Chains A and B, each alone.
Chain A
Amino acid sequence: MADEATRKAVSQIPLLKTHAGPRDRALWPQRLKEEYQALIRFVEQNKAADNDWFRLESNADGTRWTGTCWFIHELLRYEFRLEFDIPVTYPDTAPEVAVPELDGKTAKMYRGGKICLTEHFAPLWARNAPRFGLAHLMALGLGPWLAVEVPDLISKGLVVHKEQQREAAE
């Protein structure tokens, strides 16, 4: 599975209780509340551990999520926009997280900038459905992906720090 730090972070995220997807009009609002509760707790924990690394927010009905994630590499902060839709089959299947601005820069991505998760992710999600939520998706999916891909993209010059980019342009 994941490394020890990820394991620890995931174990601190509260599990969700309501098994409902966006098509379930009656129960989805409750699930959505639980999603926000878990996300808020996860972000607070990250802050406390001096490892704050993403923000997310949704549209009113909670079906489309957008936000930012960032990665610190050699004291520089690299920030990326992220987005995903909640599929009708959620929470039995996880959403496909996209980082559009990295589309075409790495082979670990499907078209549209959807990140390609490790082979461990699908079994983990399936085994823990419906108790895993979006916070778990961030911790087990996007987090490890960024940790592997961003340093690689920086070393290949495919991702350039915004400040340096500006300097180079001037």
Chain B
Amino acid sequence: MATVEELKLRVRELENELIKCKQKQCAMEDALHRPKIDKMSAEVVDSNPYSRLMALKRMGVVEDYEKIRTFTVAVVGVGGVGSVTAEMLTRCGIGKLLLFDYDKVELANMNRLFFQPHQAGLSKVEAAELTLRNINPDVLFETHNYNITTMENFTHFMDRISHGGLEEGSPVDLVLSCVDNFEARMAINTACNELGQIWMESGVSENAVSGHIQLIIPGETACFACAPPLVVAANIDEKTLKREGVCAASLPTTMGVVAGLLVQNVLKYLLKFGSVSYYLGYNAMQDFFPTMAMKANPQCNDRHCRRQQEEYNKKEAQRPKVEVVEVEEDVVHEDNEWGIELVSETTDADLQAASGTMPDLPEGITVAYTIPAAQDTTNGETVEETEQSLEDLMAQMRKL
């Protein structure tokens, strides 16, 4: 006999099936309303979804707007920032979007933009594709509902980044990191360093009042492993910031601003207009937008980052005119009004025990923590050499 819980679960599953059917039907009907458009037109008529975008070309802001249709962008993480990012790119008429996320839509997400309550229970990538296809049927979509950080999925993820372009077999043009955790960022960083794939990282702080975007060109600009995570100083006294009973806060405003900054940088990068930001921070408390650029670290932990640097340096040496990304040498002021601290959240004792060198960063940007320059490997006992096999050890662990 099925328990009440099991029956509830089954009802929920069927409800979700129904939502999917309804949405598929709507999508099909709506697709009939707006057929695919072969060529973007600049004609200003109320039936042309691209007229205002093509006006950018007429005004001379963008040289060739239609080129947007030739690009493929992968969005990793379709949450508060990623979903809005995907919507903006869809409305701009991007050629192809790859969406990666393992999560489901939950009612707890409704303080954010994009997803709607009736989509609760659907996978984020699936729900996003249905909505986005409806908004712009000219965009090609490819969705993957999995966690990219596990072994099997990571291999597949790498394969899709290097072969998932508009022309099957070609790499994507840009990867956008819209994930909310360190592991996933590092996984994207690892993949992009190995593949030499240009990507942009985005993030919103756990207190929801600061964020950043960052362009990473493997071998040229600092990768995510080149330095401890860069964060925007929010000028909140960490000692008064209460963390008990909560994991993270989120605001649709901050996430919307960060998504906007990210896609603006994407458009400027792909369509070649304006200047592309290497690192752009957003401090919502003071409305301050610090910028900076940082070169790749020759001592980076990621060997593929070091390999990309060698290749980049070789290429640069062959070029007649050397154009190097300038590292802004701004020194952190001692009386800093932005509340920069070496390691904001830890105690003085921790700082003394383990603080490393602080990179030169402009006002308003700091690192999440520092790493001691040389680890004292003699400090602390290490595991001994053992004759035991892995199987022996596994068995021993089970017997404990």
Contact = CB atoms under 8 A, between A and B. Distances in A.
Given A58-B394, A87-B150, A111 B380 contact: no
B393 A40 contact: yes
A22 interface: yes
Contact of A40 (B190, B372, B397): B397
Nearest to A85: B150
B145 to A, nearest CB: 13
B346 to A, nearest CB: 6
A37 B246 CA distance: 35
Contacts of B182: 93, 122
A85 to B, nearest CB: 5
Interface in B240-262: 243, 245-248
Contact of A32 (B356, B371, B390): B390
Contact-residue bracket for chain B: 35 or more
A93 B186 CA distance: 8
B400 A127 contact: no
Contacts of B247: 107-110, 116
B397 A92 contact: no
B151 interface: yes
Contacts of B397: 36, 39-40, 43, 55-57
B183 A87 contact: yes
A107 B242 CA distance: 14
Given A14-B381, A93-B182, A131-B382, A37 B350 contact: no
Given A40-B400, A93-B183, A119-B345, A126 B151 contact: no
A1 interface: yes
Contacts of A1: 346-347, 349-350
A126 B394 contact: no
Contacts of B341: none
B381 A15 contact: yes
Nearest to B380: A15
Interface in A2-36: 11, 14-17, 22-23, 29, 32-34, 36
Contact of B190 (A58, A86, A88, A107): A88
Contacts of B275: none
Interface string A46-76: 0100000001111000010000000000000
B383 A15 contact: yes
Interface in A71-103: 85-89, 92-96
Contacts of A92: 186, 225, 301
A163 interface: no
B183 A89 contact: yes
Contacts of B350: 1, 120, 123
A97 to B, nearest CB: 12
A115 to B, nearest CB: 9
Interface string B348-389: 011000101000000000001101100101001111101011
Contacts of B228: 126
Given A36-B393, A109-B247, A87 B149 contact: yes
A127 B393 contact: no
B183 A36 contact: no
A84 to B, nearest CB: 10
B40 to A, nearest CB: 39
B47 interface: no
Contacts of A108: 245-247
Given A14-B381, A85-B149, 20 more contacts: A14-B380, A37-B386, A43-B400, A55-B397, A56-B397, A57-B397, A57-B398, A63-B150, A87-B186, A88-B150, A88-B190, A89-B187, A93-B183, A93-B186, A107-B245, A122-B182, A123-B346, A123-B354, A126-B371, A131-B380
10 contacts: A11-B380, A17-B383, A43-B397, A107-B246, A107-B247, A116-B247, A122-B369, A127-B356, A127-B371, A131-B382
Interface of A: 1, 11, 14-17, 22-23, 29, 32-34, 36-41, 43-44, 47, 55-58, 63, 85-89, 92-96, 107-111, 116, 118-120, 122-123, 126-128, 131
Q: Which 6 A/B pairs are nearest by Cβ-Cβ distance?
A: A123-B369, A36-B393, A116-B247, A87-B149, A89-B186, A119-B345
